Amino acid sequence: MAGFCAVIALGAALALSAGPAGAQTGAREEAQQGAQQGAQEGAQEPRVATVGPVTKLPLPRYVSLRSEKVNARRGPGLDYRIDWVFQRAGLPVRVIDEHGHWRHIVDSDDAGGWVYHALITARRTALITAATVGFRAEPAETAPPTAEAERGVVATLIRCRPDWCELEAKGVSGWVPKAAIWGVDPEETFGGERRLGGS
């Protein structure tokens, strides 16, 4: 397949801002402020622990969205207003706090809020943040290309080395520079087994 390079394009919107009744508002800053306020209201005291008080899993940690529609609330409960609606299953998010059955998550832009734990999954994914990035057959710039992905594409994380991660999207796999994606810590490495983040 010399010379062949698949193009992986973004297929869906990432998220939209929503007010109390679910209408679009476009107020990203308001949603971010609301999530921060909700964190303060929902948390019983400031936390310095590196593991979640509920799951005993690391904080922060990466997970992904289980559903095509995930309401992010201002605090950990159904009584709190919806500040943000994620509309993309598989999108990587970061869990930064826990309270009962609720998890405080943020996306690559630090927007988010509190979501019910069943709406996230331990499956690890990555978001392409570079304008375009080439998937390579090996973790090296000189390796043959296997695909090219656009900003906004979500791919499954297979394994990561210090500077490269192997991804799979739409049936195509390859290595990309870690700096071109979001959903993995800069120092994080793991092998062929799937790295799980817990929910």
DSSP E strand stretches across the chain: 6-8, 15-17, 61-65, 70-73, 82-86, 92-99, 102-106, 112-116, 120-121, 125-128, 132-136, 145-150, 154-160, 164-169, 172-177, 181-182
Distance, CA of 86 to CA of 17 (rounded, Å): 8
Mean pLDDT in consecutive groups of 10 residues from the start of the chain, 199 residues = 55 37 39 50 53 94 97 97 95 98 97 97 97 96 94 96 95 96 94 58
Distance, CA of 66 to CA of 48 (rounded, Å): 28
The whole-number pLDDT of residue 191 equals 82
Contact (Cβ atoms closer than 8 angstroms) between residue 183 and residue 92: yes
